[in-house]
């Protein structure tokens, strides 16, 4: 049985609201470094292989685990984050400042569209996700730790769970909603498993949620919170990470409204639907 821990990098400067020079060199914050240390300490045994994205924040997160298991092979694979905005115009901007560009890109719902030099189309992005799964399946290592990025991780999970037959505008809109509603917190992720006799992969949530779930013997911090409140917080966090900063007055209603607007834009909810009444 092949086991893969697919882990998002620790908190980065961009995650913390700071401007970034480029998409590839964003550093971890001190909190992100501590999250990476906690991930390294969560391994019960050494993996057979450690893999990281070429981007610095994923490699910095992986280095804590590499240091804990110096004899384990370490490789760089093309599992970097989806760069769908032209990098040149994003220099020294924050997530909040790029929100209008983000909305404009996803409103096009054109999987073949490339925003500019250095940007990637949605088709290319999903192709990278599938190539990653193929490479994992072919690799002789059976226990693999992978450090990557939120959107790439969700592309992989979506390919496994939804098995899209065609990557068209509708599939792109569906994935965008999937990404927003399945936000991957820093240093969280998924477990992938594949039996030699199985044609495909199986995916399940990664148990360790560093900086999000506070472990208590037999229980987690989330178990002590009202379910409705957990849902509101998760929606707000997912939308904020997707480039939609939330207001302070009523984040719950705003989060619900943005999700409905995303469904309507994707053609999944008619504009006259009573579901838009909040």
Q: What are the pLDDT digits (tens) for 61-75?
A: 999 999 999 999 999
Tell whether the torsion through CA atoms of 107, 108, 113 and 117 is positive or negative: negative
Average pLDDT of span 261-278: 46
Give the residue extent of every domain in the chain: 2-212, 223-278
- Is a pLDDT exceeding 60 seen at residue 271? no
The confidence band for 106, taking pLDDT boundaries of 50, 70 and 90, is: very high
The pLDDT assigned to 63 comes to 98
Q: Under CATH, to which class is 2-212 assigned? A: alpha beta
Point out which residues pair with 190 in neighbouring strands.
Answer: 6, 205
The pLDDT assigned to 218 comes to 32
CA distances for 123 relative to 19, 111, 152, angstroms: 28, 5, 13
12: number of Cβ within 10 Å: 23
The pLDDT assigned to 23 comes to 84
Average pLDDT of span 228-238: 54
The pLDDT assigned to 20 comes to 84
Q: What are the pLDDT digits (tens) for 37-63?
A: 999 999 999 999 999 999 999 999 999
Q: What are the pLDDT digits (tens) for 145-167?
A: 999 999 999 999 999 999 999 99
- Is a pLDDT exceeding 80 seen at residue 239? no
């Amino acid at each position: 049985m092949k086991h893969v821990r697919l882990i998002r990098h620790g908190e980065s400067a961009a995650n913390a609201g700071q401007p970034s020079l480029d998409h590839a060199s964003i550093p971890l914050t001190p909190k992100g470094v501590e999250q990476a240390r906690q991930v390294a300490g969560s391994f019960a045994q050494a993996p057979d292989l450690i893999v990281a994205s070429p981007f610095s924040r994923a490699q910095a997160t992986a280095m804590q685990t590499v240091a804990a298991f110096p004899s384990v092979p370490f490789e760089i694979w093309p599992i970097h984050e989806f760069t769908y905005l032209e990098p040149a115009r994003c220099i020294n901007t924050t997530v909040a400042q790029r929100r209008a560009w983000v909305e404009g890109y996803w409103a096009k719902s054109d999987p073949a569209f490339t925003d500019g030099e250095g940007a990637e189309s949605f088709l290319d992005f999903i192709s990278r996700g599938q190539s990653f799964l193929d490479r994992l399946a072919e690799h002789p290592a059976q226990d693999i730790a992978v450090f990557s990025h939120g959107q790439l991780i969700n592309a992989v999970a979506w390919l496994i769970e939804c098995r899209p037959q065609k990557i068209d505008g509708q599939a792109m809109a569906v994935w965008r909603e999937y990404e927003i509603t399945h936000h991957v917190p820093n240093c969280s992720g998924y477990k992938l498993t594949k039996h030699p006799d199985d044609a495909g992969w199986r995916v399940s949530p990664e148990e360790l949620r560093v900086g999000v779930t506070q472990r208590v013997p037999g229980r987690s911090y989330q178990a002590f919170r009202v379910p409705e409140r957990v849902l509101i917080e998760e929606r707000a966090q997912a939308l904020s990470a997707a480039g939609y900063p939330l207001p302070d007055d009523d984040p719950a209603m705003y989060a619900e409204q943005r999700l409905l607007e995303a469904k309507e834009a994707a053609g999944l909810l008619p504009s006259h639907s009573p579901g838009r009444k909040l």
